[in-house]
Amino acid sequence: MAMRTPIESGVPDNRQYMHPALLKNYGNWRYHDRPRPGVLHHVSHTGDEVWTVRAGTQRQMDVYTIRKLCDIADTYAEGHVRFTIRSNIEFMVSDPAKVDPLIEALTSNGFPVGGTGNSVSMIAHTQGWLHCDIPGTDASGAVKALMDDLYTEFIREDMPNRVHLSTSCCEINCGGQADIAIIVQHTKPPTINHDLVANVCERPAVVARCPVAAIRPALVNGKPSLEVDEKKCICCGACYPPCPPMQINDPEHSKLAIWVGGKNSNARGKPTFMKMVASGLPNNPPRWPEVSEVVKRILYTYKADARSWERIADWVERIGWPRFFEKCDLPFTKYLIDDWRGSRSSLNASTHIRF
């Protein structure tokens, strides 16, 4: 197989980094199973076998932690690792005798082995303060606090179906669909620093950015600036990235909301969109206890009440939203859930189509 030519904006060809057994049997697997939570076993048509051990990481890692993981790969595995889309690290070995010592090395170094099958896999989170310039919270911090609480659900496969959680640190950009998602929620319009707007912002671009046309150009104290029609503003925060003087983040008024029932996969049913089920939760670092409490309440109600193989969206579909709110003991208001039928033609209806 010829290597794919690298392009400036793309990832390199992954085959150069693959475990040799995976490369040799690429696209030629006969079946796979899971001997225990956190371990995948693949058997090829050629008779080759590969065991993959999956461990959780904190995703945003310092160089010492990455070196530690690489040392484990060199000593206990066969020198190859890969990361999953949920930031788990996977070690591949072609000898079953290496699996148990590898698991022991990982767990004794603080990396739990799990995240496969019907577990709560690692929470996918957006970049947060480390990389992005617009977050209203630190997504990775809320993940760490929650995964500490859900440790046993990661290392076991006790859920009715797999559970994917996510957190997003703004309302508008890189979060995806998840069974349960924690998403920033701004509750007041941006505060404008009129002294800076003319120097920093391209005003037509900011005006065009607002989804409800709430921004218009204005002269303030003799300087070109912008103004917001606060009755129209939906507090989405879309004006803040192109114009930082329109400050939307606020220690008190930027809250967190919980959304439920999203799913990207086509397995058993169509992809589904999440719906907001709890809002106005305090953005309360470093452990976000109020958010963790609501997520765990939803998660364990689902665990106790869902039938085998129901994802959270399937479970809610079967029992209905009123019963969902009753069972989870969550207050329902008219601002929660969006069942507007017209949105079917205006929103993405497939994971294959993205904005």
Chain contacts with ligand SF4 (rule: CB under 6 A): 126-128, 132, 134-135, 139, 168-170, 173-175, 189-190, 209-210, 212, 214-215, 228, 233-239, 248
- E strand segments, 136-186: 165-168, 180-186
Least gap, CB of 141 to ligand SF4 (angstroms): 12
To which residue do tokens 């959304």 refer? 259
Which residue number, 93 or 169, has a Cβ lying nearer to ligand SF4? 169
| Cis bond before residue 286 (omega within 30° of 0) | yes
CA distance 305 to 115: 22
Q: Are 173 and 139 in contact (CB under 8 A)?
A: no
Asked whether 160 and 267 are in contact (CB, 8 A), the reply is no
The least CB distance from residue 341 to ligand SF4, in Å, is: 23
Least Å distance between CB 349 and ligand SF4? 22
Nearer to ligand SF4, 113 or 169 (CB): 169
β 49-56/81-83 pair status: unpaired
Min dist. Cβ of residue 234 to ligand SF4 (A): 5
Chain CA centroid to CA 319, Å: 26
How many other C-beta atoms are found inside a 10 Å radius of the C-beta of residue 137?
27
Minimum distance from residue 225 beta carbon to ligand SF4 (Å): 13
Find tokens 């701004």 and name the residue: 186
Minimum Å gap between C-beta 30 and ligand SF4 is 40
Nearer to ligand SF4, 39 or 122 (CB): 122
Q: Given the complex with ligand SF4, which of 116 and 127 has the nearer CB atom?
A: 127
Which regions of 66-206 does DSSP assign to beta strands (E)? 81-83, 88-93, 124-125, 165-168, 180-186, 191-192
Given the complex with ligand SF4, which of 119 and 185 has the nearer CB atom? 185
Give 288 or 324: the residue with its C-beta nearer to ligand SF4: 288
